[in-house]
Structure formats: C-alpha cells, structure tokens
Amino acid sequence: MSTVFYRRKPLVVTSAKQSDLTDGWVVIEGDVMSVYTNEEFERLFDKVELQADMVPGGPDTDIFGFDYSWCKDEFGRRLINELLGIEMASIDNNIDGNSWMFKPYPLSTFGRLVGAIEQDMEEGFDANVKFLEVGCGIGAKLVLVSKLFGFQVTGFDYNLQYCNDACELLHHWECQNWVVENADALSVTALEYYQASDVIYLNRPFVHLEQQGELEHLVLERMRPGAYVILANYAAEPSVLAQSGWREIARDKLAIVLQKP
Ligand SMILES: C[S@@+](CC[C@H](N)C(=O)[O-])C[C@H]1O[C@@H](n2cnc3c(N)ncnc32)[C@H](O)[C@@H]1O
C-alpha cells in the first residue's frame, strides 16, 4: 500500500511507500529517493513537523500541508498518513455536472478541527457522540473519527461506488458502530440524520454556490441546539450566523466549526 504525502512549503516528502524488500520505507524527497528504517521514518515525521512549525506565520495548516500537532501518538500519525494516501489516490476529476469533484479536505487538518470539538464538549462528554458526514466519499474521515475519537460514525453519499469503498475501508480498519448509506443530501433519510447528529461534517457537495447555500441552510435549520457543524468550502456567511448566536469553535482557510445556539 503506498502513501502519498503532499506538502507545499517547504517541500519535504512527496511520496513514501512501505518497502517490499526491507522492513522500512522508500521515501521520495524532492528528486531524491531514499530507503529509511522504521525508526528513521519516525524521525522523518518529526522533521516534517518541525519544518511545518518553522513556516512563516506559524504551523503550516496549508490545505495540502501537515499539522500533526493535535495527534501525538504513533498509531494516529500512521493512520492519518495511510488515509491521506488513499484519499489522494481516489481523487476523481469527473465532475458529473451536479457534484463538486472529489476534493477532500485533508485529514490532518480535519482531525485538528474534530479535536477542537472534542475539547469543547469535554464537560458534558458523552461516549456516544454521533458524527455524520454528508457526502462521505470513500470514508477516510469516518475511519479517522471512529478510530481516533471513538465517535459513532455515519456517512452517506449519492455515489454507490463511494459507499461501497467506504464500507470496505471501515471494515479494513475494524471500526465499530458505523453506518454508511447510499442517500441524497436532500432526501428524507438525510433530514433525519441532520436532526439526530451531534457533529455534522459538510464539505461542499454541490458545484453551484446557490445550491450549496440551500443545503447548508437546511442542515443548520434541522440540527439540534448544541450540536456542532464543520463546514468546509462553504457558502454560509459566518458573521451573519454569529449574529444569530452560532458560536465559532475553530476556523482555517477552508473550514469553520460552529455550535448551534
Ligand atoms: C467534495 S467531496 C467531499 C468528500 C468528503 N466528504 C471529504 O470531505 O473528504 C463531495 C462528496 O459529496 C458527494 N455528493 C455530491 N452530491 C451529493 C448529494 N446530492 N447527496 C449526497 N452526496 C453527494 C460526492 O459523491 C462526493 O463524495
């Protein structure tokens, strides 16, 4: 299984895959290919993290960049890297006219936002947090949320192939308590999920901003008070939502996390 790394500034690792020949990793850094032992590969992660910290303006939370600062354990980092590779490899540029092309919001950055929610809900933390991904694609983020945060995850997508891939991925990682459905974001099934979820992740399923805006409006209206939403590539106007009491938990270049009043 190969894992692909994307970084913009500075370019450190462009690709890495577990070596078939030795117990280690083959890593491509710029134009140079090297073989690392597992320990060296771990140190490489530290290097990536360090360089990210040195980027002017603080930790590199660039859309294709890494920000591992929220995830300290080795299993988590390895999981992120594997899933990033799978997600990137699955990018589908065939826009069918209705859906935004498969443009995943990077897992490393996404995980940080889920961490911010977990921290925010710490007081009344309930072990059965219900997480919903609208247009879950191949399910990489469902795996991340299930394995690293222990939430009950549900995802739906109108693309049946993506749903099948997501099921396979969740099985592969032996996730517990998950549901993947083949459903449309505007269907009755979806509306019921919006009402029942504690955390909803919505990353721009629609090409047209107006259509996207309508979906967001529907989701925000249906959500229960106190529930959280992660909006990425969104149409909503955060300042307008703030005026009606929505609480901002976190924000980055592409996404915002809000809690419903
Ligand atoms: C931009 S991708 C986001 C994928 C994933 N949620 C992520 O952030 O990595 C949009 C996803 O929404 C799905 N989608 C598009 N229109 C949809 C609809 N009407 N109902 C459900 N899913 C839809 C697409 O098949 C695709 O998987």
* pLDDT per residue as tens digits for the range 160-208: 888 998 999 999 999 999 999 999 999 999 999 999 999 999 988 876 7
d(CA 118, CA 108): 16
Q: Residues 205, 215: contact at Cβ < 8 Å?
A: yes
Q: What is the pTM of this model?
A: 0.78
Place of tokens 């629609």: 206
**Token duo for residue 192:** 């019921």
Ligand 1 binding pocket includes 204 (Cβ within 6 Å): yes
- Residue 138 in 3-state DSSP? coil
- Residue 25 in 3-state DSSP? strand
Distance 40 CA to ligand 1 centre (A): 37
Give nearest CA residue, ligand 1 atom 11. 135
The full set of domains in the chain, from first to last, is 2-69 (no CATH), 107-259 (3.40.50.150)
CB atoms within 10 A of CB 250: 18
- List all residues 6 or more positions away from 143 whose beta carbon is below 8 Å from its beta carbon: 79, 83, 169, 170, 173, 175
Quote helix, strand, coil % in the chain, to nearest 5: 40, 20, 40
**Token duo for residue 1:** 């299984």
Rg (CA), the chain: 18
Per the model's pLDDT, the better-predicted residue between 194 and 112 turns out to be 194
Distance 21 CA to ligand 1 centre (A): 38
Ligand 1 binding pocket includes 162 (Cβ within 6 Å): yes
